[in-house]
Amino acid sequence: MKTLAKEHGILGIAQNPPGVWSIDDFSNGWRLLNPAGIFVSDTYFDLAGMSQREKTLFFEGATVQNMANPTHTAGAAGDSFIEVDLMTSTPLSDAELMSFTIFGNFAGPGAITFHETIYARVNQYVVDLDTAAWGSFIQVSTNQIGSLEPTASDRIYSYRIISLGAPLTASDLDFFACRHLLQAVAREEAEFEYLMRLKRSYELQQSHDED
């Protein structure tokens, strides 16, 4: 069994004027999808060596390691955001990433499928009356909606998405780095099963390819 790891760097954002957000210079690997407050960091696990040996990757588990809860400056009770950690067997467009913060992998406009979603963890954070003065958000919910579906794809795509609530009082927010982990084993399948899985992986990747 192998443990595969990919990291997403720190993110600092500032609000000026109200309702319009920008990324601080010290941020690492993030881009702005929507100035109203949707940000994404993306990378991928390279599995080409396994596919060249005609093996299917079976996932035994997945998780996310976080350094600490995000922090805020001048936040107030009710400030909130959604954090999505997502690993997929197909690349996603910006529109699909934004859609995922609303619909996840359930039925909805632009939604990806359960089977494409290797792992997805959706966390909600808020500032409440008791902790507003701490300068830190607290986690109020977490949900896992991934499939751990085996794949013959050359890549697993890894995303972290931040979607801010509105209105949001805080002038600045800082998000610590995180690490995406996959535990997997590569095994040979019967030739027919492998070829069908390979064909399906290829079709899914081509349908999302924007290059």
Alpha carbons 169 and 204: distance in angstroms, whole number: 41
Q: Sheet holding 30-34: strands in order across?
A: 30-34, 38-46, 155-164, 80-88, 117-126, 138-144
Query: Comparing C-alpha atoms, which of 69, 59, 35 is closest to residue 118?
Result: 59
Phi/psi at 129 (5° precision): -60, -35
Task: Indicate the pLDDT class of residue 57, thresholds 50, 70 and 90.
Answer: confident
Alpha carbons 191 and 188: distance in angstroms, whole number: 8
Domains detected in the chain: 2-208 (2.60.120)
pLDDT exceeds 80 at position 140: yes
Alpha carbons 67 and 178: distance in angstroms, whole number: 6
What's the average model confidence in pLDDT over 62-77?
A: 96
Residue 190: its pLDDT value, please? Answer: 52
pLDDT exceeds 50 at position 150: yes
Query: Percentage of residues in the chain with pLDDT exceeding 90?
Result: 69
Residue 110: its pLDDT value, please? Answer: 81
pLDDT exceeds 50 at position 209: no
Query: Comparing C-alpha atoms, which of 145, 168, 162 is closest to residue 70?
Result: 162
Residue 131: its pLDDT value, please? Answer: 81
Task: Indicate the pLDDT class of residue 55, thresholds 50, 70 and 90.
Answer: confident
Residue 207, helix vs strand vs coil: helix
Query: Comparing C-alpha atoms, which of 52, 48, 50, 29 is closest to residue 39?
Result: 29
Q: Are 12 and 172 in contact (CB under 8 A)?
A: yes
What DSSP assignment string belongs to 127-168? --TTTGGGTB-EEEEEEE------B--SEEEEEEEEEE-SS-
Query: Comparing C-alpha atoms, which of 122, 1, 116, 113 is closest to residue 61?
Result: 1
Alpha carbons 14 and 19: distance in angstroms, whole number: 10
Residue 211: its pLDDT value, please? Answer: 40
Q: Are 76 and 127 in contact (CB under 8 A)?
A: yes
Residue 138: its pLDDT value, please? Answer: 96
| 128 CB neighbour count, 10 Å cutoff | 14
pLDDT exceeds 50 at position 170: yes
Residue 204: its pLDDT value, please? Answer: 54
pLDDT exceeds 80 at position 54: no
